Structure 1
Amino acid sequence: MKWESAIKDYISYLRIERGLSQNTLENYKRDLTKLQRYLDTNEIRISPIKADKTLLQEFIYTVAKEVKPRSQARVISGLRGFFNYLVFEEYREDNPMELIESPKIGRKLPDTLSLEEIDKLIAAIDLSKPQGERNRTILETLYACGLRVTELTTLKLSDLYFKEGFISVTGKGDKQRFVPISEHTQKYINIYIDEIRTHIPVQAASTDTLFLNRRGKQLTRAMIFTIIKDLAIKAGIKKNISPHTFRHSFATHLLQNGADLRAIQQMLGHESITTTEIYMHLDRNHLADALLQYHPRSSH
Protein backbone atom coordinates (compact mmCIF):
# COMPACT_ATOMS: atom_id res chain seq x y z
CA MET A 1 0.00 0.00 0.00
CA LYS A 2 1.35 3.40 -1.01
CA TRP A 3 0.90 6.53 1.09
CA GLU A 4 -0.63 8.49 -1.76
CA SER A 5 -3.41 5.96 -2.41
CA ALA A 6 -4.01 5.36 1.32
CA ILE A 7 -4.40 9.12 1.96
CA LYS A 8 -6.70 9.47 -1.07
CA ASP A 9 -8.91 6.58 0.13
CA TYR A 10 -9.03 8.02 3.67
CA ILE A 11 -10.07 11.48 2.44
CA SER A 12 -12.79 9.89 0.28
CA TYR A 13 -14.00 7.96 3.33
CA LEU A 14 -14.17 11.17 5.40
CA ARG A 15 -16.07 12.95 2.63
CA ILE A 16 -18.61 10.20 1.95
CA GLU A 17 -19.02 8.49 5.33
CA ARG A 18 -18.41 11.40 7.70
CA GLY A 19 -19.69 14.26 5.54
CA LEU A 20 -16.85 16.59 6.55
CA SER A 21 -16.49 20.02 4.97
CA GLN A 22 -14.01 20.72 2.17
CA ASN A 23 -11.89 22.92 4.46
CA THR A 24 -11.60 20.16 7.08
CA LEU A 25 -10.74 17.58 4.41
CA GLU A 26 -7.98 19.83 3.06
CA ASN A 27 -6.51 20.22 6.57
CA TYR A 28 -6.42 16.43 7.06
CA LYS A 29 -4.87 15.91 3.63
CA ARG A 30 -2.25 18.61 4.23
CA ASP A 31 -1.13 17.05 7.52
CA LEU A 32 -0.94 13.53 6.10
CA THR A 33 0.95 14.78 3.04
CA LYS A 34 3.42 16.40 5.48
CA LEU A 35 4.17 12.93 6.87
CA GLN A 36 4.56 11.52 3.36
CA ARG A 37 6.98 14.36 2.48
CA TYR A 38 8.95 13.73 5.71
CA LEU A 39 9.41 10.07 4.75
CA ASP A 40 10.48 10.96 1.20
CA THR A 41 12.94 13.63 2.38
CA ASN A 42 14.56 11.20 4.81
CA GLU A 43 14.46 8.36 2.27
CA ILE A 44 12.40 6.17 4.59
CA ARG A 45 10.75 3.47 2.51
CA ILE A 46 7.90 2.15 4.64
CA SER A 47 4.23 1.63 3.89
CA PRO A 48 1.32 2.90 6.04
CA ILE A 49 0.75 -0.71 7.10
CA LYS A 50 4.27 -1.02 8.58
CA ALA A 51 4.72 2.48 10.08
CA ASP A 52 5.39 2.17 13.83
CA LYS A 53 5.20 4.37 16.92
CA THR A 54 8.94 5.24 16.93
CA LEU A 55 8.82 6.54 13.35
CA LEU A 56 5.68 8.58 13.97
CA GLN A 57 7.08 9.98 17.23
CA GLU A 58 10.17 11.21 15.34
CA PHE A 59 7.95 12.86 12.72
CA ILE A 60 5.90 14.59 15.45
CA TYR A 61 9.10 15.89 17.10
CA THR A 62 10.02 17.42 13.74
CA VAL A 63 6.57 18.98 13.39
CA ALA A 64 6.77 20.31 16.98
CA LYS A 65 9.74 22.49 16.04
CA GLU A 66 7.77 24.16 13.25
CA VAL A 67 4.25 24.65 14.60
CA LYS A 68 2.39 25.76 17.72
CA PRO A 69 0.95 23.18 20.18
CA ARG A 70 -2.57 23.64 18.78
CA SER A 71 -1.44 22.74 15.24
CA GLN A 72 0.67 19.90 16.62
CA ALA A 73 -2.39 18.51 18.41
CA ARG A 74 -4.37 18.67 15.15
CA VAL A 75 -1.65 16.70 13.32
CA ILE A 76 -1.66 14.03 16.03
CA SER A 77 -5.44 13.82 15.98
CA GLY A 78 -5.43 13.52 12.17
CA LEU A 79 -2.83 10.74 12.22
CA ARG A 80 -4.76 8.89 14.90
CA GLY A 81 -7.88 9.02 12.75
CA PHE A 82 -5.97 7.87 9.67
CA PHE A 83 -4.56 4.79 11.39
CA ASN A 84 -7.94 4.03 12.98
CA TYR A 85 -9.31 3.97 9.45
CA LEU A 86 -6.61 1.47 8.38
CA VAL A 87 -7.52 -0.73 11.37
CA PHE A 88 -11.21 -0.40 10.52
CA GLU A 89 -10.52 -1.45 6.92
CA GLU A 90 -8.42 -4.37 8.27
CA TYR A 91 -5.16 -3.23 6.66
CA ARG A 92 -3.58 -3.12 10.12
CA GLU A 93 -4.22 -4.78 13.47
CA ASP A 94 -3.06 -1.87 15.63
CA ASN A 95 -2.98 1.92 15.74
CA PRO A 96 0.62 3.10 16.36
CA MET A 97 -0.72 6.49 17.49
CA GLU A 98 -2.62 5.08 20.49
CA LEU A 99 0.14 5.79 23.03
CA ILE A 100 1.27 9.12 21.58
CA GLU A 101 -0.21 11.96 23.63
CA SER A 102 -1.27 15.33 22.27
CA PRO A 103 0.37 18.41 23.81
CA LYS A 104 -1.64 20.09 26.53
CA ILE A 105 -3.12 23.30 25.21
CA GLY A 106 -5.20 25.92 26.90
CA ARG A 107 -8.63 26.72 25.60
CA LYS A 108 -8.15 29.48 23.05
CA LEU A 109 -11.01 31.91 23.12
CA PRO A 110 -11.31 34.41 20.30
CA ASP A 111 -11.86 38.09 21.00
CA THR A 112 -15.45 39.27 21.27
CA LEU A 113 -16.66 42.56 19.88
CA SER A 114 -18.95 44.78 21.92
CA LEU A 115 -22.02 46.26 20.23
CA GLU A 116 -20.22 49.63 20.25
CA GLU A 117 -17.24 48.10 18.42
CA ILE A 118 -19.51 46.48 15.82
CA ASP A 119 -21.14 49.88 15.28
CA LYS A 120 -17.67 51.44 14.93
CA LEU A 121 -16.70 48.91 12.25
CA ILE A 122 -19.90 49.57 10.31
CA ALA A 123 -19.41 53.35 10.67
CA ALA A 124 -15.94 52.97 9.10
CA ILE A 125 -17.45 51.68 5.83
CA ASP A 126 -17.39 54.11 2.89
CA LEU A 127 -21.03 53.99 1.78
CA SER A 128 -20.33 56.27 -1.19
CA LYS A 129 -18.95 53.23 -3.02
CA PRO A 130 -21.19 50.36 -4.24
CA GLN A 131 -19.12 47.76 -2.35
CA GLY A 132 -19.65 49.83 0.81
CA GLU A 133 -23.36 48.97 0.90
CA ARG A 134 -22.48 45.34 0.26
CA ASN A 135 -19.87 45.30 3.03
CA ARG A 136 -22.28 46.81 5.54
CA THR A 137 -24.81 44.10 4.67
CA ILE A 138 -22.13 41.42 5.06
CA LEU A 139 -21.20 42.61 8.57
CA GLU A 140 -24.85 42.95 9.59
CA THR A 141 -25.57 39.41 8.35
CA LEU A 142 -22.50 37.86 10.00
CA TYR A 143 -23.41 39.37 13.36
CA ALA A 144 -27.21 38.98 13.13
CA CYS A 145 -27.15 35.31 12.08
CA GLY A 146 -23.88 33.98 13.57
CA LEU A 147 -22.72 32.52 10.26
CA ARG A 148 -19.40 30.88 9.47
CA VAL A 149 -17.55 32.69 6.68
CA THR A 150 -18.16 29.88 4.15
CA GLU A 151 -21.86 29.87 5.05
CA LEU A 152 -21.97 33.58 4.24
CA THR A 153 -20.12 33.35 0.91
CA THR A 154 -22.32 30.46 -0.28
CA LEU A 155 -25.61 32.05 0.85
CA LYS A 156 -28.09 32.12 -2.03
CA LEU A 157 -31.03 34.33 -2.99
CA SER A 158 -33.16 31.17 -2.88
CA ASP A 159 -32.07 30.66 0.77
CA LEU A 160 -33.89 33.82 1.89
CA TYR A 161 -37.30 33.18 3.43
CA PHE A 162 -38.03 36.70 4.65
CA LYS A 163 -41.80 36.25 4.92
CA GLU A 164 -41.20 33.44 7.40
CA GLY A 165 -38.34 35.36 9.07
CA PHE A 166 -35.64 32.73 8.35
CA ILE A 167 -32.68 32.01 6.09
CA SER A 168 -31.60 28.51 5.06
CA VAL A 169 -27.92 27.92 5.83
CA THR A 170 -25.68 25.15 4.46
CA GLY A 171 -23.23 24.31 7.24
CA LYS A 172 -20.39 21.84 7.75
CA GLY A 173 -20.87 18.55 5.94
CA ASP A 174 -23.61 20.14 3.80
CA LYS A 175 -26.00 20.07 6.77
CA GLN A 176 -28.96 22.44 6.37
CA ARG A 177 -30.37 24.55 9.18
CA PHE A 178 -32.81 27.45 9.42
CA VAL A 179 -31.60 30.58 11.21
CA PRO A 180 -33.92 33.42 12.26
CA ILE A 181 -33.20 36.78 10.63
CA SER A 182 -34.42 40.11 12.00
CA GLU A 183 -36.31 42.72 9.98
CA HIS A 184 -33.35 45.06 10.61
CA THR A 185 -31.00 42.72 8.71
CA GLN A 186 -33.62 41.90 6.07
CA LYS A 187 -33.83 45.64 5.34
CA TYR A 188 -30.09 45.88 4.56
CA ILE A 189 -30.12 42.73 2.43
CA ASN A 190 -33.07 44.07 0.41
CA ILE A 191 -31.32 47.43 -0.10
CA TYR A 192 -28.20 45.60 -1.32
CA ILE A 193 -30.20 43.36 -3.68
CA ASP A 194 -32.39 46.17 -5.11
CA GLU A 195 -29.86 48.99 -5.34
CA ILE A 196 -26.42 47.36 -5.75
CA ARG A 197 -26.58 43.73 -6.83
CA THR A 198 -29.07 44.48 -9.61
CA HIS A 199 -26.41 46.61 -11.38
CA ILE A 200 -23.69 43.94 -11.31
CA PRO A 201 -23.09 41.84 -14.47
CA VAL A 202 -23.64 38.45 -12.81
CA GLN A 203 -21.63 35.43 -14.03
CA ALA A 204 -23.68 32.39 -15.06
CA ALA A 205 -22.38 30.24 -12.18
CA SER A 206 -23.33 32.90 -9.59
CA THR A 207 -26.87 33.88 -10.61
CA ASP A 208 -28.28 32.61 -7.30
CA THR A 209 -25.35 33.74 -5.09
CA LEU A 210 -26.29 36.60 -2.75
CA PHE A 211 -22.99 38.41 -2.20
CA LEU A 212 -20.96 39.11 -5.34
CA ASN A 213 -17.67 40.81 -6.18
CA ARG A 214 -17.48 43.54 -8.83
CA ARG A 215 -17.01 40.93 -11.57
CA GLY A 216 -20.26 39.19 -10.65
CA LYS A 217 -18.69 36.17 -8.98
CA GLN A 218 -19.05 34.65 -5.52
CA LEU A 219 -16.84 36.34 -2.92
CA THR A 220 -13.93 34.32 -1.57
CA ARG A 221 -13.31 33.61 2.11
CA ALA A 222 -10.05 35.57 1.86
CA MET A 223 -11.93 38.65 0.59
CA ILE A 224 -14.21 38.66 3.65
CA PHE A 225 -11.16 38.43 5.94
CA THR A 226 -9.54 41.35 4.08
CA ILE A 227 -12.67 43.52 4.30
CA ILE A 228 -12.90 43.00 8.06
CA LYS A 229 -9.16 43.48 8.74
CA ASP A 230 -9.15 46.75 6.76
CA LEU A 231 -12.23 48.04 8.60
CA ALA A 232 -10.69 47.18 11.98
CA ILE A 233 -7.67 49.35 11.11
CA LYS A 234 -9.91 52.23 9.95
CA ALA A 235 -12.07 51.94 13.09
CA GLY A 236 -9.00 51.86 15.37
CA ILE A 237 -9.93 48.48 16.87
CA LYS A 238 -6.78 46.73 18.13
CA LYS A 239 -8.32 43.30 18.72
CA ASN A 240 -7.35 40.42 16.44
CA ILE A 241 -10.65 40.02 14.62
CA SER A 242 -11.88 37.90 11.73
CA PRO A 243 -15.29 36.88 10.32
CA HIS A 244 -15.48 34.27 13.10
CA THR A 245 -15.34 37.06 15.71
CA PHE A 246 -18.84 38.10 14.64
CA ARG A 247 -20.10 34.52 15.13
CA HIS A 248 -18.52 34.40 18.57
CA SER A 249 -19.98 37.80 19.47
CA PHE A 250 -23.42 36.68 18.23
CA ALA A 251 -23.39 33.66 20.55
CA THR A 252 -21.92 35.52 23.55
CA HIS A 253 -24.34 38.45 23.32
CA LEU A 254 -27.33 36.11 23.03
CA LEU A 255 -26.28 34.22 26.16
CA GLN A 256 -25.59 37.44 28.07
CA ASN A 257 -29.09 38.60 27.24
CA GLY A 258 -30.70 35.41 28.52
CA ALA A 259 -31.00 33.18 25.44
CA ASP A 260 -31.19 29.43 25.98
CA LEU A 261 -27.95 27.55 25.28
CA ARG A 262 -29.81 24.87 23.28
CA ALA A 263 -31.37 27.53 21.05
CA ILE A 264 -27.93 29.06 20.45
CA GLN A 265 -26.60 25.58 19.63
CA GLN A 266 -29.29 25.14 16.95
CA MET A 267 -28.67 28.57 15.45
CA LEU A 268 -24.90 27.99 15.29
CA GLY A 269 -25.37 24.51 13.80
CA HIS A 270 -23.31 22.69 16.44
CA GLU A 271 -23.87 18.94 16.68
CA SER A 272 -22.77 18.90 20.31
CA ILE A 273 -23.73 21.31 23.08
CA THR A 274 -20.13 21.03 24.31
CA THR A 275 -18.95 22.89 21.22
CA THR A 276 -21.41 25.69 21.94
CA GLU A 277 -20.18 25.97 25.54
CA ILE A 278 -16.65 26.74 24.28
CA TYR A 279 -17.99 30.02 22.91
CA MET A 280 -19.35 31.02 26.28
CA HIS A 281 -16.56 32.75 28.16
CA LEU A 282 -18.72 35.00 30.29
CA ASP A 283 -17.05 36.47 33.34
CA ARG A 284 -17.81 35.30 36.86
CA ASN A 285 -19.86 38.40 37.66
CA HIS A 286 -22.40 37.44 35.00
CA LEU A 287 -22.65 33.91 36.41
CA ALA A 288 -23.10 35.30 39.91
CA ASP A 289 -25.86 37.62 38.66
CA ALA A 290 -27.59 34.63 37.06
CA LEU A 291 -27.45 32.72 40.35
CA LEU A 292 -28.85 35.65 42.35
CA GLN A 293 -31.62 36.24 39.83
CA TYR A 294 -32.78 32.67 39.21
CA HIS A 295 -31.91 30.45 42.17
CA PRO A 296 -34.88 29.98 44.56
CA ARG A 297 -32.74 30.30 47.71
CA SER A 298 -30.64 33.28 46.59
CA SER A 299 -32.77 35.76 48.53
CA HIS A 300 -32.50 33.92 51.87
Structure 2
Amino acid sequence: MKKTLSSYKLHLQKNNVSFNTIRGYLSDLNKLVEWYQDTKGFAPSVTGINPHDIIGFKRHLKNINQKPATINRVLRALSSYFKFAIGPGHNLMGGVKSLKIAKVTPKVLTLEEQQDLMRAVYDSKNSRDIVIVTLLLRTGLRVEEFSALKVSDVYFRGESGYITVDRRRKVSFDSEVWDVLKNWVAGKNDSEPLFPSQKGGCLTARGIRILVEKYTQEAGLEGVTPHVLQLAFCKSLLDAGVPPDKVAAIVGYKNIDTVEKYINLVQENS
Protein backbone atom coordinates (compact mmCIF):
# COMPACT_ATOMS: atom_id res chain seq x y z
CA MET A 1 0.00 0.00 0.00
CA LYS A 2 2.84 2.38 0.78
CA LYS A 3 4.07 2.07 -2.81
CA THR A 4 0.84 3.51 -4.15
CA LEU A 5 0.88 6.48 -1.76
CA SER A 6 3.56 8.24 -3.81
CA SER A 7 1.48 7.77 -6.97
CA TYR A 8 -1.58 8.99 -5.11
CA LYS A 9 0.28 12.11 -3.98
CA LEU A 10 1.23 12.89 -7.58
CA HIS A 11 -2.38 12.30 -8.62
CA LEU A 12 -3.59 14.88 -6.10
CA GLN A 13 -0.94 17.39 -7.14
CA LYS A 14 -1.88 17.03 -10.81
CA ASN A 15 -5.50 17.74 -9.85
CA ASN A 16 -4.45 20.95 -8.07
CA VAL A 17 -5.43 19.75 -4.61
CA SER A 18 -4.09 22.14 -1.98
CA PHE A 19 -0.86 21.41 -0.14
CA ASN A 20 -2.60 21.25 3.24
CA THR A 21 -5.23 18.81 1.99
CA ILE A 22 -2.57 16.55 0.46
CA ARG A 23 -0.54 16.61 3.66
CA GLY A 24 -3.63 15.81 5.74
CA TYR A 25 -4.74 12.94 3.48
CA LEU A 26 -1.30 11.31 3.50
CA SER A 27 -1.06 11.66 7.27
CA ASP A 28 -4.47 9.96 7.68
CA LEU A 29 -3.51 7.15 5.31
CA ASN A 30 -0.27 6.53 7.18
CA LYS A 31 -2.28 6.22 10.39
CA LEU A 32 -4.27 3.42 8.77
CA VAL A 33 -1.04 1.70 7.70
CA GLU A 34 0.42 1.95 11.22
CA TRP A 35 -2.79 0.67 12.85
CA TYR A 36 -3.01 -2.25 10.41
CA GLN A 37 0.61 -3.26 11.05
CA ASP A 38 0.18 -3.03 14.81
CA THR A 39 -3.06 -5.04 14.68
CA LYS A 40 -2.15 -7.78 12.21
CA GLY A 41 1.62 -7.81 12.36
CA PHE A 42 2.23 -7.19 8.67
CA ALA A 43 1.91 -4.31 6.20
CA PRO A 44 -1.41 -3.85 4.39
CA SER A 45 -1.83 -4.23 0.67
CA VAL A 46 -4.37 -2.30 -1.38
CA THR A 47 -6.29 -5.43 -2.36
CA GLY A 48 -5.90 -7.05 1.06
CA ILE A 49 -7.85 -4.43 3.00
CA ASN A 50 -11.58 -5.07 3.33
CA PRO A 51 -14.53 -3.09 4.76
CA HIS A 52 -14.19 -4.87 8.12
CA ASP A 53 -10.66 -3.48 8.41
CA ILE A 54 -11.91 0.05 7.76
CA ILE A 55 -14.66 -0.37 10.35
CA GLY A 56 -12.08 -1.65 12.84
CA PHE A 57 -9.85 1.36 12.13
CA LYS A 58 -12.80 3.68 12.58
CA ARG A 59 -13.56 1.99 15.93
CA HIS A 60 -9.92 2.47 16.93
CA LEU A 61 -10.14 6.20 16.21
CA LYS A 62 -13.24 6.45 18.39
CA ASN A 63 -11.53 4.52 21.18
CA ILE A 64 -8.63 6.98 21.27
CA ASN A 65 -11.14 9.82 21.55
CA GLN A 66 -10.75 11.33 18.11
CA LYS A 67 -13.44 13.92 17.40
CA PRO A 68 -16.24 12.96 14.96
CA ALA A 69 -15.13 15.69 12.55
CA THR A 70 -11.60 14.25 12.57
CA ILE A 71 -12.84 10.71 11.98
CA ASN A 72 -15.02 11.86 9.09
CA ARG A 73 -12.04 13.65 7.55
CA VAL A 74 -10.03 10.41 7.79
CA LEU A 75 -12.85 8.49 6.12
CA ARG A 76 -12.91 11.02 3.27
CA ALA A 77 -9.17 10.57 2.83
CA LEU A 78 -9.55 6.78 2.70
CA SER A 79 -12.43 7.00 0.23
CA SER A 80 -10.43 9.27 -2.07
CA TYR A 81 -7.38 7.01 -1.91
CA PHE A 82 -9.18 3.71 -2.55
CA LYS A 83 -11.09 5.18 -5.49
CA PHE A 84 -7.70 6.04 -6.97
CA ALA A 85 -5.92 2.81 -6.06
CA ILE A 86 -8.68 0.30 -6.78
CA GLY A 87 -11.03 2.18 -9.07
CA PRO A 88 -14.52 3.68 -8.64
CA GLY A 89 -16.19 0.35 -9.46
CA HIS A 90 -15.04 -1.19 -6.16
CA ASN A 91 -16.87 0.51 -3.30
CA LEU A 92 -14.67 -0.46 -0.36
CA MET A 93 -16.16 2.31 1.79
CA GLY A 94 -19.80 1.55 0.98
CA GLY A 95 -20.65 0.06 4.35
CA VAL A 96 -18.67 2.57 6.39
CA LYS A 97 -20.85 5.41 7.60
CA SER A 98 -19.69 8.86 8.65
CA LEU A 99 -20.36 9.98 12.20
CA LYS A 100 -23.09 12.47 12.99
CA ILE A 101 -21.77 15.81 14.19
CA ALA A 102 -23.81 17.91 16.57
CA LYS A 103 -24.45 21.37 15.16
CA VAL A 104 -22.85 24.08 17.24
CA THR A 105 -24.32 27.57 17.05
CA PRO A 106 -21.51 30.10 16.66
CA LYS A 107 -21.05 32.55 19.49
CA VAL A 108 -22.09 36.13 18.79
CA LEU A 109 -19.83 38.62 20.54
CA THR A 110 -21.42 41.60 22.22
CA LEU A 111 -19.85 45.04 21.83
CA GLU A 112 -18.65 44.82 25.43
CA GLU A 113 -16.96 41.46 24.76
CA GLN A 114 -15.27 42.89 21.67
CA GLN A 115 -13.95 45.75 23.78
CA ASP A 116 -12.69 43.30 26.43
CA LEU A 117 -10.85 41.35 23.74
CA MET A 118 -9.24 44.45 22.23
CA ARG A 119 -8.22 45.63 25.70
CA ALA A 120 -6.40 42.32 26.28
CA VAL A 121 -4.63 42.62 22.91
CA TYR A 122 -3.57 46.23 23.51
CA ASP A 123 -2.30 45.31 27.00
CA SER A 124 0.16 42.95 25.28
CA LYS A 125 1.75 45.91 23.43
CA ASN A 126 2.35 43.48 20.53
CA SER A 127 1.86 45.60 17.40
CA ARG A 128 1.47 42.62 15.06
CA ASP A 129 -1.23 41.02 17.19
CA ILE A 130 -3.08 44.32 17.57
CA VAL A 131 -3.25 44.68 13.78
CA ILE A 132 -4.35 41.06 13.23
CA VAL A 133 -7.21 41.10 15.74
CA THR A 134 -8.30 44.55 14.54
CA LEU A 135 -8.44 43.27 10.96
CA LEU A 136 -10.44 40.21 12.00
CA LEU A 137 -12.98 42.36 13.81
CA ARG A 138 -13.13 45.27 11.37
CA THR A 139 -12.70 43.80 7.88
CA GLY A 140 -14.05 40.24 7.93
CA LEU A 141 -10.83 38.79 6.49
CA ARG A 142 -10.81 35.00 6.74
CA VAL A 143 -7.98 33.48 8.73
CA GLU A 144 -6.76 31.50 5.72
CA GLU A 145 -6.29 34.74 3.78
CA PHE A 146 -3.77 36.25 6.19
CA SER A 147 -0.84 33.95 5.44
CA ALA A 148 -0.65 34.94 1.76
CA LEU A 149 -0.69 38.70 2.33
CA LYS A 150 2.32 40.86 1.53
CA VAL A 151 2.98 44.47 2.40
CA SER A 152 2.35 45.36 -1.26
CA ASP A 153 -1.26 44.14 -0.90
CA VAL A 154 -2.10 47.11 1.37
CA TYR A 155 -3.24 50.39 -0.22
CA PHE A 156 -3.90 53.63 1.67
CA ARG A 157 -6.31 56.36 0.54
CA GLY A 158 -6.52 59.30 2.89
CA GLU A 159 -7.49 57.81 6.26
CA SER A 160 -8.92 54.59 4.81
CA GLY A 161 -7.84 52.07 2.19
CA TYR A 162 -8.11 48.46 1.11
CA ILE A 163 -6.27 45.13 1.08
CA THR A 164 -6.10 43.06 -2.09
CA VAL A 165 -6.81 39.37 -1.44
CA ASP A 166 -5.80 36.76 -4.03
CA ARG A 167 -5.45 39.59 -6.58
CA ARG A 168 -9.22 39.51 -7.03
CA ARG A 169 -11.04 40.83 -3.97
CA LYS A 170 -10.55 44.23 -2.39
CA VAL A 171 -11.22 44.36 1.35
CA SER A 172 -11.86 47.94 2.45
CA PHE A 173 -10.89 49.26 5.87
CA ASP A 174 -11.80 52.35 7.88
CA SER A 175 -9.80 54.89 9.87
CA GLU A 176 -9.51 52.60 12.91
CA VAL A 177 -7.73 49.95 10.85
CA TRP A 178 -5.79 52.64 8.95
CA ASP A 179 -4.35 53.92 12.22
CA VAL A 180 -2.81 50.60 13.33
CA LEU A 181 -1.99 49.30 9.85
CA LYS A 182 -0.18 52.45 8.71
CA ASN A 183 2.23 52.21 11.65
CA TRP A 184 2.68 48.46 11.12
CA VAL A 185 3.78 48.63 7.48
CA ALA A 186 5.99 51.70 7.92
CA GLY A 187 9.56 50.90 6.89
CA LYS A 188 8.73 47.44 5.53
CA ASN A 189 9.57 46.29 2.00
CA ASP A 190 6.67 45.59 -0.37
CA SER A 191 7.82 41.99 -0.87
CA GLU A 192 7.78 41.16 2.85
CA PRO A 193 4.99 39.06 4.38
CA LEU A 194 2.47 41.39 6.00
CA PHE A 195 2.46 39.16 9.06
CA PRO A 196 5.74 37.26 9.47
CA SER A 197 6.03 34.42 11.97
CA GLN A 198 8.67 34.30 14.66
CA LYS A 199 10.40 31.48 12.77
CA GLY A 200 10.42 33.38 9.49
CA GLY A 201 8.02 33.17 6.59
CA CYS A 202 4.32 33.96 6.88
CA LEU A 203 2.20 33.49 9.98
CA THR A 204 0.00 30.44 9.39
CA ALA A 205 -3.75 30.08 9.89
CA ARG A 206 -3.02 27.80 12.84
CA GLY A 207 -0.77 30.48 14.32
CA ILE A 208 -3.57 33.04 14.10
CA ARG A 209 -6.05 30.65 15.74
CA ILE A 210 -3.62 30.12 18.62
CA LEU A 211 -3.12 33.88 18.86
CA VAL A 212 -6.87 34.55 19.08
CA GLU A 213 -7.32 31.79 21.66
CA LYS A 214 -4.58 33.32 23.82
CA TYR A 215 -6.18 36.75 23.97
CA THR A 216 -9.74 35.51 24.39
CA GLN A 217 -8.61 33.55 27.44
CA GLU A 218 -6.87 36.63 28.82
CA ALA A 219 -10.09 38.57 28.26
CA GLY A 220 -12.09 35.93 30.14
CA LEU A 221 -14.06 34.87 27.08
CA GLU A 222 -14.95 31.37 25.89
CA GLY A 223 -15.69 29.84 22.50
CA VAL A 224 -14.12 32.66 20.51
CA THR A 225 -12.37 31.78 17.25
CA PRO A 226 -11.33 33.85 14.22
CA HIS A 227 -14.61 32.78 12.62
CA VAL A 228 -16.51 34.29 15.57
CA LEU A 229 -14.66 37.57 15.02
CA GLN A 230 -15.67 37.52 11.37
CA LEU A 231 -19.25 36.90 12.47
CA ALA A 232 -19.01 39.96 14.72
CA PHE A 233 -18.00 42.02 11.67
CA CYS A 234 -20.90 40.63 9.62
CA LYS A 235 -23.27 41.41 12.49
CA SER A 236 -22.09 45.01 12.59
CA LEU A 237 -22.78 45.38 8.88
CA LEU A 238 -26.22 43.78 9.13
CA ASP A 239 -27.07 45.92 12.16
CA ALA A 240 -26.13 48.97 10.09
CA GLY A 241 -28.63 47.94 7.43
CA VAL A 242 -26.20 46.65 4.81
CA PRO A 243 -28.09 44.24 2.48
CA PRO A 244 -27.16 40.53 2.82
CA ASP A 245 -25.86 40.27 -0.77
CA LYS A 246 -23.56 43.23 -0.12
CA VAL A 247 -22.31 41.63 3.12
CA ALA A 248 -21.61 38.39 1.22
CA ALA A 249 -19.55 40.30 -1.35
CA ILE A 250 -17.60 42.18 1.32
CA VAL A 251 -16.53 39.05 3.19
CA GLY A 252 -16.02 36.99 0.04
CA TYR A 253 -18.86 34.49 0.43
CA LYS A 254 -20.12 33.04 -2.84
CA ASN A 255 -23.26 31.69 -1.18
CA ILE A 256 -25.64 34.24 0.30
CA ASP A 257 -27.21 31.44 2.40
CA THR A 258 -24.24 31.75 4.76
CA VAL A 259 -25.10 35.39 5.43
CA GLU A 260 -28.77 34.47 5.84
CA LYS A 261 -27.70 32.20 8.71
CA TYR A 262 -25.88 35.17 10.23
CA ILE A 263 -29.06 37.23 9.98
CA ASN A 264 -30.90 34.59 12.01
CA LEU A 265 -28.12 34.64 14.60
CA VAL A 266 -28.25 38.43 14.76
CA GLN A 267 -32.01 38.34 15.33
CA GLU A 268 -31.69 35.63 18.00
CA ASN A 269 -29.06 37.65 19.86
CA SER A 270 -30.66 41.09 19.54
TM-score range (shorter-chain normalised) is: 0.7 to 0.9
**How much has 1:32 moved relative to structure 2?**
1.4
Q: Who is 2:172 aligned against? A: 180
Q: Secondary structure at the match of 2:2?
A: helix
Contact kept in structure 2, 1:248 and 1:279, CA below 8 Å: no
User: Could you say if the C-alpha distance between residues 128 and 84 of structure 1 is closer, same or farther in structure 2, counting changes exceeding 3 Å?
Assistant: closer
Gaps of 5+ in 1: 290-300
Task: Kindly provide the CA deviation profile for residues 20-62 of structure 1, in whole angstroms up to 9, marking residues without a partner as x.
Answer: 3x33333222211111111221224442244221221111111
Q: Who is 1:98 aligned against? A: 94
2:214 maps to a residue whose letter is D
Q: 1:249 aligns with which of 225, 232, 243?
A: 232
Q: 1:280 aligns with which of 252, 262, 269?
A: 262
Contact kept in structure 1, 2:128 and 2:195, CA below 8 Å: yes
2:147 maps to a residue whose letter is T
Map 1:83-162 onto structure 2 (within 5 A): 83-86=82-85, 90=87, 93-126=89-122, 129=125, 131=126, 133-162=127-156
Q: 2:38 aligns with which of 38, 41, 48?
A: 41
Cα distance in 2 for residues equivalent to 1:47 and 1:180: 53
Q: Give yes or no for the alignment of 1:69 onto 2:98.
A: no
User: Could you say if the C-alpha distance between residues 7 and 266 of structure 1 is closer, same or farther in structure 2, counting changes exceeding 3 Å?
Assistant: farther
Q: Who is 2:81 aligned against? A: 82
**How much has 1:223 moved relative to structure 2?**
4.3
Aligned length: 265
User: Could you say if the C-alpha distance between residues 182 and 126 of structure 1 is closer, same or farther in structure 2, counting changes exceeding 3 Å?
Assistant: closer
Q: Who is 1:227 aligned against? A: 211
TM-score (norm 1): 0.73
User: Could you say if the C-alpha distance between residues 74 and 217 of structure 1 is closer, same or farther in structure 2, counting changes exceeding 3 Å?
Assistant: closer
Contact kept in structure 1, 2:118 and 2:133, CA below 8 Å: yes
Q: 1:8 aligns with which of 6, 9, 25?
A: 6
Contact kept in structure 1, 2:120 and 2:215, CA below 8 Å: yes
Cα distance in 1 for residues equivalent to 2:241 and 2:256: 17
Contact kept in structure 2, 1:109 and 1:279, CA below 8 Å: no
Q: Who is 1:296 aligned against? A: none
Cα distance in 1 for residues equivalent to 2:223 and 2:191: 34
**How much has 1:96 moved relative to structure 2?**
0.6
Q: Who is 1:23 aligned against? A: 20
User: Could you say if the C-alpha distance between residues 134 and 16 of structure 1 is closer, same or farther in structure 2, counting changes exceeding 3 Å?
Assistant: same
**How much has 1:162 moved relative to structure 2?**
3.3
**How much has 1:217 moved relative to structure 2?**
5.3
Cα distance in 2 for residues equivalent to 1:128 and 1:31: 38
Cα distance in 1 for residues equivalent to 2:24 and 2:199: 29
What fraction of aligned residue pairs are identical, expressed as a percent? 25
User: Could you say if the C-alpha distance between residues 235 and 155 of structure 1 is closer, same or farther in structure 2, counting changes exceeding 3 Å?
Assistant: same
Q: Who is 1:55 aligned against? A: 53
Q: Give yes or no for the alignment of 1:209 onto 2:199.
A: no
Gaps of 5+ in 2: none
